[in-house]
Chains A and B, each alone.
Chain A
Amino acid sequence: MKQKSISLITILVLFLAGAFMPSLLKQYHLNMLTEIIIFSLYAVSYNLLLGYAGLLSFGHAAFFGLGAFVTAVAIINIPGISLWNVILIGIAATVIAGFVLGGLLLRHKGSYFALLTMAFNALFYAVATKWHSVTGGDDGLSITRPDLNLGFTTIPLNSLTNFYYLTLVIMGLAILFCWYFTHTAMGKTVVLMRENEDRMKFLGYNTNISRLILFTFTGAIAGLAGVFYTFHFQFVSISAVSIDMTTAVLLMAFVGGTKTFWGPILGAFVYIILQNYLSNITDRWPLVMGVIFVLMVLYVPGGLSAVLLNIKQRFFGKKNNDGNKTATPEEMTS
């Protein structure tokens, strides 16, 4: 229980800190922070699969890209569509895609699952590239953000600060919802399934349906992140649905640490900041990222969050059981 309140407080503190950022940061950095927040949600959704359920997916960009493309297509083809409807359409599309793909792919586990998700990601990529009349193919699609209609008033989103606040609130709420999800019975089922699926089956859980719900849920969250990706850049290209986008989220989640809820958020910060600064210094920044990644796989499988927790334990004693979700099943279900 104590662990739970610490996480919640951390999230709230981050949220408050985020609220003051526009007055502290320059335009360029605020832009970067908006991107980081969007990718944080994307990474958190990915970690629900990788860290919590132990499913290594190489197809998460399919959902992210679907959300991004549906947003652009909806704004271009439906004149005067409101912001909320765009978000709803984006989520609905990814829910359907997640449900269908999950039904097809979740029969397989481990390496098979990884391979199949990558292949289906490639299918989405191929469709996005070839379906030129709708997706714009290699050229991509440019859009203008619709204004935010709150019912009593309309807020223009062409200013970065306004858009930043919208991103902060919606992405923040979505991350909170993910955090809440991991504490529901459903979220705990997923963790227990990773630990011992046979036992869960004996106990009467339908593990296939739980997995399908999780897969659809994470897909929808990634889709929401994709919707905001398009809002943020006011442009979407096929890179949003490419394998590179999957690689990016994998790096974020893994570098940040898959064993904690907040690890991927940290990972998104580190990744985007490194990307921005390294790409100024050298053209070879993907190589640097790759080397960091492999070294971490070899020596620090817990990621940065494991390192931080380790340091914390060294200074403050071993009060917490490294704050992860691999707590004993008794503890989890109580």
Chain B
Amino acid sequence: MSDVPVFFLHGLAYAGLLFLVSAGLTLIFGMMNVLNFAHAAMYMVGAYLSYTIIMQLTGQFWMALILCPLILFVIGALIERFLLRRVHKYGHVQELLLTFGLAYIITELVKWYWGNYPLAVNVTGFLSGTIPIFGIVYPIYRIFIFGCAVFVGVVMALILFKTRLGIILRAAVNDSEMTNTLGVNVPLVFMGVFAFGTALSGFAGVIAGPLLSTFPGMAQEILLDAFVVIVVGGFGSLGGAVVAALLIGQLQAFGVLLIPKLSVALIYLLMAIVLIVKPSGLFGEEQ
């Protein structure tokens, strides 16, 4: 079974990507209690922007990796400030509807500008090579994805648990009103978190481009997988997102290997089981 290490590594790479997408989603959800349906649309924008930057403008993968998150950070901040904050007073249903509508519009705009067909993004240089690992030759790029996810995860954990900003963020998760009363500009914090989450999904989009290629359905595909990660890991739990992403990455990879016909349904099956056994998710707090 020389397939096993290959599929294990495939699973790790996909888990990395899933974590990058769902980390932003779960962060926004945990902080602002907004389930951001537009999150995956931002991921798609990131991927398509990276296509323009890499394949049409500069030819540099690194440029896209830096520029796309910055652009999406600004877009995210604008969306929070001028759209989301407006409907906040009407309650969660309105917020959900707004992000859903935005996702719809963004998807259509992307189809309009970039066309309704897949676009391939290629990496060059060091990242396009392969290295021998576990007795097989494996593309460096997929390992790079996993490395990025670990890096982002560690940085997020350090910020959340070791800095003053992290204390404010965690306090705002627990009780945003009280934090506001204590003199923290909570609306600004929310704007920052939303923008950061959006930037993170843009980052994930750039990384996903060379792996999965960019296509109009990519948003919906990753959105559902990220939702499953959040449900399985527990709503708003970063640690849960790590474990669930790893689990679903492997399930996806070995599902394709062992039972290809059912592989799509496998992750939903896992979700259903978790829902029955522990409705709040593996690491979620009881509601």
Q: Hey, which bits of chain A sit against chain B, CB under 8 A?
A: 50, 54, 56, 58, 104-105, 107-108, 110-112, 114-116, 118-120, 122-123, 126-127, 129-130, 243, 247, 250, 254, 284, 286-287, 289-291, 293-294, 297-298, 301
Contacts and interface: CB of A to CB of B under 8 A. Distances in A.
Contacts of B100: 58, 247, 250
- What are the 4 A-B residue pairs with the smallest beta carbon separation, nearest first? A111-B35, A294-B101, A287-B108, A290-B105
Contacts of A284: 108, 112
A111 B34 contact: yes
B87 A298 contact: yes
A104 B274 CA distance: 11
B227 interface: yes
Given A120-B268, A126-B264, A291-B105, 7 more contacts: A111-B33, A118-B227, A119-B231, A129-B264, A250-B97, A289-B104, A301-B94
A119 B104 contact: no
A54 B105 contact: no
A312 B272 CA distance: 48
B117 interface: no
Contact of B108 (A119, A127, A250, A286): A286
Contacts of B98: 294, 297-298
B236 to A, nearest CB: 10
Chain B: number of interface residues, binned into ranges: 35 or more
A328 to B, nearest CB: 20
23 contacts: A50-B93, A111-B92, A116-B275, A118-B224, A118-B227, A119-B228, A119-B231, A122-B224, A126-B268, A247-B100, A250-B100, A284-B112, A287-B108, A289-B104, A290-B108, A293-B97, A294-B83, A294-B98, A297-B87, A297-B94, A298-B83, A298-B86, A301-B90
Contacts of B264: 126, 129-130
B105 A111 contact: no
Contacts of A127: 265
Contact of B224 (A119, A250, A294, A297): A119
A316 to B, nearest CB: 28
B235 A112 contact: yes
B275 A104 contact: yes
Interface string B76-93: 000000010011001011
Nearest to A118: B227
B165 interface: no
Contact of B105 (A56, A123, A287): A287
A51 to B, nearest CB: 10
A119 B227 contact: yes
B29 interface: yes
Contacts of A290: 101, 104-105, 108
B287 to A, nearest CB: 8
B272 A104 contact: yes
Interface string B244-287: 00000000000000000110110010011001100100000001
A154 B227 CA distance: 50
B88 to A, nearest CB: 12
A290 B86 CA distance: 18
Given A127-B265, A290-B104, A115 B97 contact: no
Nearest to A294: B101
A243 B105 CA distance: 15
Nearest to B228: A119
Contacts of B35: 111, 114-115
Nearest to A283: B112
B266 to A, nearest CB: 10
Contacts of B230: 115
B108 A297 contact: no
Interface in B195-229: 220, 224, 227-228
B112 A254 contact: no
A54 B93 contact: yes
Interface string B107-130: 011001000000000000000000
B102 A294 contact: yes
B150 interface: no
Contacts of B108: 284, 286-287, 290
A147 B18 CA distance: 51
Nearest to A284: B112
Nearest to B90: A301
B81 to A, nearest CB: 13
Contacts of A107: 279
Contacts of B34: 111
Contacts of A247: 100, 104
Contact of B101 (A112, A115, A123, A293): A293
Most buried by A among B104, B220, B279: B104
A290 B101 CA distance: 6
Contact of B227 (A115, A126, A254): A115
B96 interface: yes
Contact of A114 (B94, B96, B272): B96
A224 B85 CA distance: 39
Contact of A293 (B104, B109, B235): B104
Contacts of B228: 119
Contacts of B112: 284, 287
Contacts of B90: 301
Contacts of A116: 231, 275
Contacts of A301: 87, 90, 94
Contacts of A291: 105
B226 to A, nearest CB: 10
Nearest to B98: A297
Contact of A108 (B29, B227, B279): B279
A301 B97 CA distance: 10
